[in-house]
Each structure stands twice: as C-alpha cells, then as structure tokens.
Structure 1
C-alpha cells in the first residue's frame, strides 16, 4: 500500500461504506462546507453573532431538508459530521432544525401545520426552535416540566419559562413542551414567537457554541389556537424517538468535531517551525496527533454502527446515550491535545484550536450531560437504576 502523506482524517474510510451516489454527494457537501463555511465562521464566533448571510448557501446545498430525503442513516450522520467539521454552532443549528423541527413537524404535525411551515423551513426562509429545557429542569425535565398549557374556549394558554433554547432569539416559532393542566400529560405546541406574552433574551458569555443564539424564553399568558397543538405529540412518549435520534445526532457531532481538531492540529504542526524544523517532526507531537486520529476513528466507527442499527429500526435510548457519551468524551480529550499542539497560539481563535476546545465542552454537556447519559447506559446493562427516585 502506497504511503499517503496527508490522508483524510477518516482514515478507516467510513464514508466508503456509502453507495456511490451518496459518496459523491457527501464529497460535494464536504467541499462546499470547507470552502464556503469553515473559513468565515471565526469572526461570528468571536462576536457571538449568527451568520444569517450563510443560510441561503446552506439551503442551496439542501441542508434545510436533510431529514426529508430518501437517504441512508449513514449518509445523514456523515453529513452532520461534516457540518460539525466545518463549524460546531452551524451544525447545531442545522441539526436541531432537521432532527427536532422539520422531522417532528413532518411526523407529528397536522396537515395544516406542515403546509404552513415546511416549505419555508426547507429553505431556511423560516426557522423554528425546540423549547423543552427550563431554568430549573434540565436532566429531570421529563418529570419536572413546569410550563403549563390550559385549554380554554379561545385556545390554549401557555405559561412558563424555557432556557438554553437554540435559535430562540430569531426563530419564527417554538415547538414548546407544556404540561396539560387537565390531566398532567406533557404535550407539544407550536407557539409563534411574535405572539403577545412571549419574550426572549439572548444568553451571552458562553465559552463555546458562541454562534448559536441560545435564549431564555418566557411565555406569560400566551394564547394560541387549538390547532397549534401537535396532534401526534399528546404525551412525552410520542417524542421519545426524536429525542433518541437527536442524542445519536450529537454522537455524530462528537465524531465530526474530532475530524476538525485533527485537521487543525495536523495543519498547524506541519506549518509551524521551531528549532529549525516543523513541529510535526517531533515525536511527542506525532504521538498527540495519532491519539486524536485514534479517538476520531473510534468515534466514526462507533457512529457508523449506530447508523446501521438505526437504519433497521433498532435505535434505543441506551445506544444513543452510549454514542453521545463516548464520542463527546473522546472529543474533549482530542480538543485538549489539539490545543496543546498549538502551544501559545493554541489559545487564539485565529488557529481554530481554542474555538474547538470551547465547542467540545458544550457537546460534552448538552443533550444530556456525560454523567446522565452514562447512568442511562448503566441502568440498561445492570438492570439497576442509579437515578435518584
């Protein structure tokens, strides 16, 4: 086998498992993201601003409707990985948009809701956000959700607070989870964010995912029509499949960010001169690069198998939780190694390594913390729950 001096970070050729047409399409998406998105996101990250001007470009590549195509799970997962490789915040927006907004509306929404919103969502002319987490309820949201929905003659009246809602400062609507005051069940409602009683405030000062505009949203006596309830989401169980899939999606983010870390660390090591030679010639640097590559390869291989399971309808929460916990744990280690290779320059967003390190910390935490996901898996493999009862 010939020596390849600069192989792609997918050294095990996981993408090679795709059908030829999907492999070609993935390469096109990769080239688009690396030429049009990755080079320009740094200033947005520094300024905590959202790149609205990039949305038409993303739409032109069909990235607003990933979940509506007849593509394999592996292809979709690798697309999400490539999005993350380009920028973690952009991947978070596109992933939530597809997995939890477009996907949920398409499967659980009414025909009128789909007719009203899906065309604009497919092209990013419209945006939704997913309002589940609350200020006092994150990991325990299923049992502790406090936002309420009361059915009246005029419609549903929504009261409550949501926190960490991605895109909540500019979305057209929120898929909002609230407890029905009549029977205590958790239901989902489409709440337009320009309605009276809705207010949203950006959460600033984040160490990572700075491009994503997370928000605190308050619903103060917000009245919506009866038809804004999602007919297919009349209990929390109805949305579990989407939450399971979105957790697996973060597993793909964990793999994708490691591709970006390897790319940035390798390029820096090859080009940075110290003691009269590239630092890539030093043994310790090569060992660190290989550890990053090993972590990335293990994560991609794991996620490829998860995609195979998901393709055949076998994805369950313990598998998704294991994938998310493992790839983001490895991403955290890879980010630390990559930043170290950058030395003093590694703390500058100019070189991308500090940006990736901050973003890796967010992936480690959101969609269920590492600890919570570990306990989900631990309960499955031991038959004993370690959650507080």
Structure 2
C-alpha cells in the first residue's frame, strides 16, 4: 500500500541546491578552515604536498559522488583509479613500487580522505596500513616482490582478516586454525567485519597453528576453493565499506604463501601498532570536515536576516569543536614523532586512538546540533560523518579496551590480563 501511494506522487526528489538554496551542499566541499593552530608549520614540504594533492582529489573527485554510494551501501569503484594517481597506497613502505612516505605523511593522506569521506579512508587504511604493511613487515622477499607492486598501484586490492564472530577486542584468542599438510596448510574457521573482503584479490588471514598453538599469517587468494565471503548488510556507518563474513573450510594455502614473520600474536601487534597511529588520524579528518562544513553553513544560513554565525550559542559550539580539533591534531602529530624516534609504547597509541575518537564524537554531535534539521541530511556531510564515526570509535580496539591498555601501562596493574613487559613497538618500515 505504501509503495502504491508513493508511486502516485510522480515527483522525483528535489535537488538540495533548489530545495534549500540558503546553503551549499557538501558535493561542493568547503575550504579547510580548521587549522587554527597552524599545524602546517610542523610539516615538511613533502608532507604539505601530500596533504595538498590528497585534499584536492578528495574534494573534487570523491565529494560530488559519494552520497549516492553511501546511501546505497555500495563501494565507489570509479574512484579507485583516482586514488591510485595519488601514489599513497603502501604508505610508509619503501621499495616495491611503494611511496615510502613519512609516518606523518601517510597519516595525513588518510586524514584528508576521511575529511571528505570516512569509507574511502577506511578502504585505503585496511589495504595499506594493515594488509600491505603485514606483507612488508612479516613477508618473505619473494612475497614482497610478488604482491606489493600491484597493491601499491591499486591494480589489486587486499583485506586483513583477524577479527572473528566471538573475538573482537580479544583477537589474540582467535579460533580459526591452520593445519600443516603436504605442500602447505589448510585453514578452517570464520572471520567477521573484514573490510574490503567481498572484492579483495588477496586476503591476509590469521589462524592458530594447531601444532604450536601460536598465531600464524597466510596470504589467501580470491577464488580459492573452500573460501566464502558474504557481505554484512544493514550497517548505519561506513556504508560504502564492504565488510564481510568469511568462512574458511579446508582452504589450502601453499607454503610459499605463509608469512614467515608471524609466529605469534606479538608479531601481529607490530602491525597493529602502526595501524593504530593511522586510525587515530581518521577521526581528525572527520572532525575537520564537519567543522569546515558547519563554518560555511553558519555563514550562509540566515534567520531574522542575520547569519547563524552571529549567534552566541553557535559560536560557542563552533569553538568547542575547533578546540577539540587542535588538541586531536597535536596529539596525532606527537604520536607519529614518538614512533619515528623509537619511543612509542602501546599505551601511547591506545590513548591517542581512544581520546581522538571520543573528542571527534563530540565534534560531530555538536555539528549535528548546529545544522538543526539539516543535520540529519547526508547532503550536508554532518549526518554521514555522525554515523561513520561510530564504527571507527569501536574498531582497532574499543574506547574502553584502549583506555585499559593505557591504564595498565601507567599504573603497572592489569585490570583485564596480566601485563606484558613494557616495550617499544617500533619496527623498521
């Protein structure tokens, strides 16, 4: 009945620029006005160039098209060649066709994409800072030569399969098993919430070696018999990211595709240390985009003949957002430097990820308030960013788990597991 009534209306949805001409939609992205403490002064010329070129592509190529994909929960494959032209895939990896960016340069690239769209940023983060980095840090020379060049050009796409239905934050307890057979290994188990998995050409999969009871890593190729990937539906955030449930039933992996540098969960943690830096920069980008959108909207939107930006409550909320962004930026910048100097600990990375996502949550909430009713429309970015931040708040360790990791480090007392020896998680990239 409802569908019949709707069909009789016969009118397509009005374009937002016509329906609400008082404000410019996010398809024409606003300029960046959130660098109030002049973070650019901390950047090298190369890092400024990275930020500039990624920002331009995100604003001109992603912003005009992304809402239609987000609402349909589809991945925008048309932008992959444009992302490839940026030459940021591979991030900090040197050689093998990878860009060899600084830690901060790689973080800035992800942040600038997230400023316009968090889903595309997550696509790159999973591909670069998890899957590619695992092959670079833990793979053999033959594996690096074989896989990394194509991945760096985005000719092939990767995913990273650690999380399971029963093990999210406690991923070290995973149940997927690896059994040694003649010429290779057989993998059996399930993975869940694996980004890029529905279309990835290669899957970096973690499984428990039944002989040693330790975690090992494997490269599984798309189409391998026994491998099944199903898209997770009905998400309210990061809707363009194609998260999947993975079922492995006797999946054969040749010896040449076992990652020799992963013999325990501690080896996996070296990759997670770097990726947690990068994830800490995604909420920075999201918050910047929301602030930039609100700043323009308040100038354009008028009530009683005056712009909303002249109202005291609007200014107070805007400045609270701006203050959060400055603090988030400075904490993210310092984290990169600690890593480069070999001084970053698990607690440093966990605190930054937890704190930045918490503060970004406040920013997007304030942004939704500032836009009033338009705050729930994807046309003005804020609603989409509001939803997209929620999964980022939880992935790569929930706020609570990351807080407890840092709490264990600063107090010396574990509230959930026996504390490991405090050590630096810096690896040669």
Secondary structure in 1 aligned to 2:225? Answer: coil
Q: List alignment gaps of at least 5 residues for structure 2.
A: 1-30, 94-98, 419-429
Higher mean C-alpha displacement, 127-136 vs 243-252 = 243-252
How far off is 1:276 after superposition? 1.7
Higher mean C-alpha displacement, 116-125 vs 216-225 = 116-125
The CA distance in 2 between the partners of 1:210 and 1:67, in whole Å, is 27
Secondary structure in 2 aligned to 1:340? Answer: helix
What value does the CA root-mean-square deviation take over the aligned residues?
Answer: 1.4
Residue 44 of structure 1, aligned match among 47, 63, 69: 69
How far off is 1:7 after superposition? 6.9
Name 1:3's counterpart in structure 2: none
How far off is 1:71 after superposition? 3.2
The CA distance in 1 between the partners of 2:403 and 2:84, in whole Å, is 36
Residue 388 of structure 2, aligned match among 355, 359, 367: 359
Name 1:256's counterpart in structure 2: 285
Residue 54 of structure 1, aligned match among 76, 79, 82: 79
Could you list the per-position Cα deviations for residues 313-358 of structure 1 after superposition, in whole angstroms to 9, with x for gaps in the alignment? 2222110000000000001111100011110111111111110100
Paired residues of 2:184 and 2:252 also in contact (CA < 8 A): yes
Could you list the per-position Cα deviations for residues 195-219 of structure 1 after superposition, in whole angstroms to 9, with x for gaps in the alignment? 1111111111111111100000000
Higher mean C-alpha displacement, 362-371 vs 230-239 = 230-239
Could you list the per-position Cα deviations for residues 90-125 of structure 1 after superposition, in whole angstroms to 9, with x for gaps in the alignment? 111111211112222122112222222112101111
Name 1:196's counterpart in structure 2: 225
Paired residues of 1:292 and 1:337 also in contact (CA < 8 A): yes
Name 1:72's counterpart in structure 2: 102
Secondary structure in 1 aligned to 2:165? Answer: coil
TM-score, normalised to structure 1, is 0.95
Higher mean C-alpha displacement, 208-217 vs 38-47 = 38-47
Q: How does 1:112-191 map to 2 (within 5 A)?
A: 112-142=142-172, 144-191=173-220
Secondary structure in 2 aligned to 1:339? Answer: helix
Secondary structure in 1 aligned to 2:159? Answer: strand
How far off is 1:192 after superposition? 1.1
CA 1:70/1:228 → structure 2, altered by over 3 Å: closer, same or farther?
Answer: closer
The CA distance in 2 between the partners of 1:54 and 1:40, in whole Å, is 9
Paired residues of 1:295 and 1:334 also in contact (CA < 8 A): yes
The CA distance in 2 between the partners of 1:22 and 1:148, in whole Å, is 42
The answer on 1:18 being equivalent to 2:11 is no
How far off is 1:388 after superposition? 5.8
Name 2:297's counterpart in structure 1: 268
Name 1:103's counterpart in structure 2: 133
Paired residues of 2:58 and 2:112 also in contact (CA < 8 A): yes
How far off is 1:31 after superposition? 1.8
CA 1:152/1:7 → structure 2, altered by over 3 Å: closer, same or farther?
Answer: closer
Secondary structure in 2 aligned to 1:222? Answer: strand
Residue 377 of structure 1, aligned match among 406, 409, 414: 406
Residue 265 of structure 2, aligned match among 220, 236, 246: 236
Residue 114 of structure 2, aligned match among 84, 108, 125: 84
Could you list the per-position Cα deviations for residues 28-55 of structure 1 after superposition, in whole angstroms to 9, with x for gaps in the alignment? 2222221112232111111100011100
The CA distance in 2 between the partners of 1:66 and 1:383, in whole Å, is 34
How far off is 1:89 after superposition? 0.7
Structure with greater helix share of residues: 1
The CA distance in 1 between the partners of 2:341 and 2:88, in whole Å, is 24
The CA distance in 2 between the partners of 1:131 and 1:181, in whole Å, is 18
The CA distance in 2 between the partners of 1:15 and 1:91, in whole Å, is 21
Residue 326 of structure 1, aligned match among 355, 358, 369: 355
Name 1:314's counterpart in structure 2: 343
The CA distance in 1 between the partners of 2:125 and 2:39, in whole Å, is 20
Residue 346 of structure 1, aligned match among 368, 375, 385: 375
| Number of residue pairs matched by the alignment | 383
Residue 32 of structure 1, aligned match among 47, 51, 57: 57
Name 2:6's counterpart in structure 1: none
TM-score, normalised to structure 2, is 0.87
